[in-house]
Amino acid sequence: MMGPKKLSTIRKELRQSLRKNGKDPIQWLDRRIRALERAGASTAEAADVLHALRRVLRSPTKTKRGTAKRSR
């Protein structure tokens, strides 16, 4: 369970923790994913986790929501 944190806060914290080494977090994840994929099938689960993290970081911070139609 994630608790009361908003998704934007989680993304911000994730970016900050991945940026500690001074590099772009997306580029760092891309390098790690390529290295794991070259290593073989035994690391497929780890690569899947990194792919998921990359999707979270790449997804837009705000999504447009349609207006709800009220029935009268």
Please state whether the predicted TM-score (pTM) of the whole model is above 0.95.
no
Whether residue 49 is contained in a domain is answered as yes
Is residue 28 situated within a structural domain? Answer: yes
User: What Å distances lie between residue 51 and 4, 17, 39, 71, CA to CA?
Assistant: 25, 17, 16, 41
Residue 22 is assigned to a structural domain of this protein? yes
**Dist. CA 56–CA 9, nearest whole Å:** 12
pLDDT at 9: 86
In a domain, 65, yes or no: no
Cβ contact 11:61 at 8 Å: yes
pLDDT of residue 2: 56
pLDDT at 11: 82
Q: Is 33 within the bounds of a domain?
A: yes
pLDDT tens figures, 1-45: 557 888 888 888 888 887 777 778 888 888 888 888 888 766 778
Phi-psi region of 67 (alpha: psi -120 to 50; beta: other; left: phi over 0): beta
Q: Specify if 26 maps to a domain.
A: yes
Reading the block at residue 30, the tokens are: 């891309």
Look at the chain and report how many structural domains it folds into.
1
Q: Which domain holds residue 18?
A: 7-58
